[in-house]
Amino acid sequence: MSGDPGARMPRTAVEWDRVRAVKHEVLVRDPLDVDPADFPDVRPEVVASWRRSALAGVDPAATDYRFDDGFHPGTRLAAVAQPIMDRLRDEIADLDSWGFLADRGCRLLTAVVGDFPRADRVHRQNLSPGMCFAEDVMGTNGLGCAHETQRAFVVSGTEHFRTDTEVITTTGVIIRDPVTSRYAGTLGVHCHREYGSAALLPLVVEIGRSIEAQLLASRTDGERELFDAFSTARRRHRDPVVAVSRRLCVVSTGARSLVHEADEEVLRRIAEECGPRPRTLRRTLSSGAVLTIRVLPVPQPRGEFAAVMVLQPVDRPAPEPVPPGRVPATDPIGALREQIAQALDAGRPVLLSGERGSGQRHQARAALRALGHAGGIVELDAALAPLAPDEWLRRLAAALRDPTAPVLLAHVTDLPAGPAATTAALLAGAAAPVVATSRDDTAPDGAAALVRESFPVLLGVAPLRERRAGFAALCAELLADLAQDGDDHVVLTPRAEAALAAGDWPGNVRQLRQVLAGARLRATGPAIDLPDLPAHRRVHPLDEVRAAERRVLMAALRDTGGDRNAVADRLGVSRATVYRKLKRHELR
């Protein structure tokens, strides 16, 4: 488990003392400043876990244990693994060791403890089902680190984050269902740190493989046939696939954003009602997605049912029905579009202004499309007017006279003085709905001022950094705009959406559109996933923390006019901390 040939698991008192000293140095730092490469004497995966533990707020001096009161230990994994855990108890009966089996949430299912006197301390810790060993609860430990990284892990002595576990060596091995390949839980065998060796982890891995073999053997013939049919359907169809039976519901990666827990009983009822014959039907799921569902029954023993379902989205999933051209009112853009709609209904031209690339034209198109005019939108770019001013003005006059076709005027405050005066006069008598766009950095006087004053309604478009609440809806709209006739509908996977939402977008909506266009070309299916994004956009959760911190600092700087003392007061930190963070984020 060493990612660096110069660092290895500590095994002596001198090595544990050295690791403890490094851990103390790490813990006095800002977690965001911790880089495993700066601590070559400790395994980098351990330092990375310390950093995650500190960011999660784990107290290294804590001695209590957290329990999930609503936890139910009666899982299939616990039942299947119990005979193996019983044999493990017999094998460690005279050893200072103990074994833990945890579920997918890293909560204790069962524990077996050896009879060696020192193991009595483990009994006094009230090892009972529901005790949580997750890294963000207990800090660095074998079970928690394996759960977090999804790979085998061993933690020795002072490598543990909490002081009360520095006397032991802990391990963690991931258990997967061999049929579904899903993460089922974590197995750990722990001992006093002096007894830990390089042979411990392979031993635990071998026990874990035994549990996986039992999971496979416990499947009924009907369940195996269902999983075989599910695997075949995933290979044959690019659409999302679901397999359901009376006790199981397995979804493909593409189906996870469509099928929620509330839909499982609906799909089971469909499978049961279809009987032995394939059917095709249409349903609306709890996610808001309208789907065409191809039901392919799978033969089962008498009294049972099972089916594989191929899902074909008919409508874009949404958390709630949203009228075309509108977004939920919780997003600032939702309020903006409502204001545009009210102004247009009253026959008033609207000017949208914002930072460069904030999506003024995108919002203008959305608002004009919402009007539902069959003739489409007439778009005129004022930046092109100087090339042929007379022709441009003739086209503008004709468009403004036609009430059946809405007009979008882009970069309208870029007009030179002559066309600007004519445009102002034409706008005063416009019969068509008009939405125009401009930038905040346009000069406030001269021709630009004349054009700006000719609009009775002036609305601001917030930059992307201030519109995180509506980020998902914006991405969906941009992807829809990028689609051409005949193209399949493309969506973002939850982790790709989270990565984009965590990013910094100095180029605003224009930059986001460029990234989505490139990702759409790289995607091989109907969903854009993390690997389809540019490398610098595939952020780690820690990068999300950094991005959020940077946004808070930028907002505080704007609100205080750059006064560092005021920023420190506002954020409740010292002035030195403010300067250090400004330097880190290159905001000085």
What is the per-residue pLDDT across 346-391, written as a single tens digit (0 to 9) for each?
A: 888 999 988 877 788 888 888 888 887 766 889 999 888 888 889 9
Q: What is the reported pLDDT for 259? A: 83
pLDDT tier, 258 (very low <50, low <70, confident <90, very high otherwise): confident
| Residue 98, helix vs strand vs coil | strand
Strand runs labelled E in 516-568: 527-528
Lowest-confidence pick of 59-68, 185-194, 434-443, 509-518: 434-443
CA 15 to chain centre: 39
Question: For residue 46, with 0-12 CB atoms within 10 Å meaning exposed, 13-18 middle and 19 or more buried, which class applies?
Answer: buried
**Closest Cα partner for 164 from 202, 124, 200?**
124
Average pLDDT over residues 418-429: 87
Exposure string of 317-327, with b = 16+ CB inside 10 Å and e = fewer, is beeeebeebbb
CB contact at 8 A, 353 and 458? yes
d(CA 372, CA 422): 29
Q: What is the reported pLDDT for 445? A: 58
20, pLDDT greater than 60: yes
Q: Which spans in 259-298 are helix H?
A: 264-274
> Which distant-in-sequence residues (6+ apart) come within 8 Å of 288 by Cβ?
315, 317, 318, 319, 320, 321
Q: Per 3-state DSSP, what percentage of the chain is helix, strand, and coil (rounded to 5)?
A: 45, 15, 35
Q: Beta partners for 168?
A: 192
257, pLDDT greater than 80: no
**Which amino acid belongs to residue 72?**
H
Element (H, E) at 39: none
Instruction: Give me the DSSP letters along 110-131.
Output: EEEE--SGGGHHHHTT---TTB
199 or 246: which leads in pLDDT: 246
548 or 132: which leads in pLDDT: 132
Element (H, E) at 435: strand 434-439
Lowest-confidence pick of 46-50, 90-94, 443-447, 562-566: 443-447
CB count in 10 Å sphere of residue 521: 10
Q: What is the reported pLDDT for 152? A: 93
What average pLDDT is seen over the chain?
Answer: 82
CB contact at 8 A, 431 and 437? no
301, pLDDT greater than 50: yes
Lowest-confidence pick of 335-344, 400-409, 416-425, 466-475: 466-475
**Which amino acid belongs to residue 474?**
L
188, pLDDT greater than 60: yes
Q: Beta partners for 398?
A: none
| Residue 285, helix vs strand vs coil | coil
Q: What is the reported pLDDT for 120? A: 47
223 or 60: which leads in pLDDT: 60
According to DSSP, residue 406 is labeled -
pLDDT tier, 453 (very low <50, low <70, confident <90, very high otherwise): confident
Which residue's structure tokens are 């019969």?
431
Q: What is the reported pLDDT for 125? A: 57
Lowest-confidence pick of 64-73, 316-325, 430-439, 541-550: 316-325
Q: What is the reported pLDDT for 320? A: 41
pLDDT tier, 546 (very low <50, low <70, confident <90, very high otherwise): low
pLDDT tier, 124 (very low <50, low <70, confident <90, very high otherwise): very low
Strand runs labelled E in 258-331: 279-284, 290-297, 306-313
Please report, rounded to a whole number, the percentage of residues in the chain having pLDDT higher than 90: 26
Q: Which domains does the chain show, CATH number per domain?
A: 1-219 (3.30.450.40), 221-313 (3.30.450), 332-462 (3.40.50.300), 466-539 (1.10.8.60), 543-584 (1.10.10.60)
Average pLDDT over residues 172-178: 90
pLDDT tier, 579 (very low <50, low <70, confident <90, very high otherwise): confident
166, pLDDT greater than 90: yes
> Which distant-in-sequence residues (6+ apart) come within 8 Å of 46 by Cβ?
140, 155, 159
Question: For residue 34, with 0-12 CB atoms within 10 Å meaning exposed, 13-18 middle and 19 or more buried, which class applies?
Answer: buried
CB contact at 8 A, 367 and 340? yes
Q: What is the reported pLDDT for 126? A: 64
Phi, psi (deg, nearest 5) at residue 45: -70, -25
> Which distant-in-sequence residues (6+ apart) come within 8 Å of 213 by Cβ?
178
The sign of the CA dihedral 119, 123, 124, 129 is positive
> Which distant-in-sequence residues (6+ apart) come within 8 Å of 278 by Cβ?
294, 295, 296, 297
d(CA 410, CA 402): 18
d(CA 437, CA 364): 8
545, pLDDT greater than 60: no
From residue 492, how far is each of 170, 495, 522 by CA, in Å? 38, 8, 13
